[in-house]
Amino acid sequence: MSKIPSKSEILDWIEQNPTLTAKRDIAKAFGIKGAARIDLKRVLKELEAEGHLEKRQRSYQDPDRLPPVSVLLVTGPDKDGDLFAKPMEWHGQGAEPVVLLIPRDSDPALGEGDRILARLTLVKGEEHHYEARLIRRIGSNPKKVLGIFRKAAEGGRIVPIDKGADREWRVGADHTHGAKDGELVEAEQAGPKASIITLTMDKNGVPQDVDTRVAIAAEIVQKAMEKGFGTERIFIDAIVLPVKVPNAQAQPGNILAAMDQIRYLADPAPHMTVGLSNVSQGARERSLINRIFLAMAASHGLDSAIVDVLDEKLMNVVATAEMLRNKQIYSDSFLKVHGN
């Protein structure tokens, strides 16, 4: 008969192995099989109820610890020149942890307001709680210009007062905000008018883990913003895999966990979309699976999807989600399913 570990043993395992915290990982670590898994589930539920653990998707984590790969906001250097950051998302009960950035010679220069994806290491005996090493910079504050506004028929232009500036900035008629000819104005750089849909995959194909999906999404956001795209025009498809494919049953949960991180890659967050029918491909109850996954994903930041508009029950879920969240998350022409 399998021996159930004590609560302290489980907590020690999770602290030492932050990336192996799913119930199956804990069961494998302690050699728990068969009916003994029911007792393990009971102990994990007790730890969760006592506040020692927080369940996120299919894994358990200490609510007062950050994930090993996290999205951070650079807060700036201290008086000694050390660069610090804070988490974009914090679930703990205590004070927000302090993160010290450990730069490498090859890292780009970072400053206050930059958003980064970083790998964290918990430290003890220091004034800070974590040390972070940069994976990639996601974005920074928008570029600004100070100059003289010159009115024109199509809007206008801004002539920078900085002598080092080598070009003027065009301003559309809808973005003048009432500026008058000859006024000194400050403006933020805007990007292209088109929107882009991007896929979280690389030359190795569709990633099977959360961290790789988030890292790819971070690279997408960074490069799109460098090209002038605002996050309101970036749509990230986390790529849903069919649940009927062998070893793919865990993928929907991984995608939801990735969405939780992706929405903190920038402020405002990039859009998230999916080809909804992929999740049910090859299954019998396709409409049911699609509806349930859609409702789950909407609560994790999904705000658009490619859907079967002839599926009346699914479109009812779409309309209801919009009503309950008070947000427009799908095309208007598809939302008027009730004729109200």
pLDDT in tens, 89-109: 777 767 889 999 999 888 888
Res 199: pLDDT: 93
pLDDT in tens, 231-275: 888 999 988 888 887 766 777 888 888 888 888 887 778 899 998
Sheet holding 144-152: strands in order across?
A: 169-172, 155-160, 144-152, 184-188
In this predicted structure, the answer to whether residue 294 has a pLDDT above a threshold of 50 is yes
Check residues 319 and 197 and name the one with the higher pLDDT: 197
Which spans in 170-311 are helix H?
210-226, 251-262, 286-298
**Mean pLDDT (the chain, rounded):** 80
How many other CB atoms are found less than 10 A from the CB of residue 110?
Answer: 19
Q: Is it true that the peptide bond before 268 is cis, omega within 30 degrees of 0?
A: yes
Q: Rounded distance, CA 138 to CA 143, Å?
A: 15
Res 182: pLDDT: 92
Pull the structure tokens for residue 98. 């302090």
Angle between helices 286-298 and 251-262 (to 10 degrees): 30
**Contact assessment for residue 315 and residue 309, using Cβ atoms and an 8 Å cutoff:** yes
In this predicted structure, the answer to whether residue 55 has a pLDDT above a threshold of 60 is no
Pull the structure tokens for residue 150. 């010159």
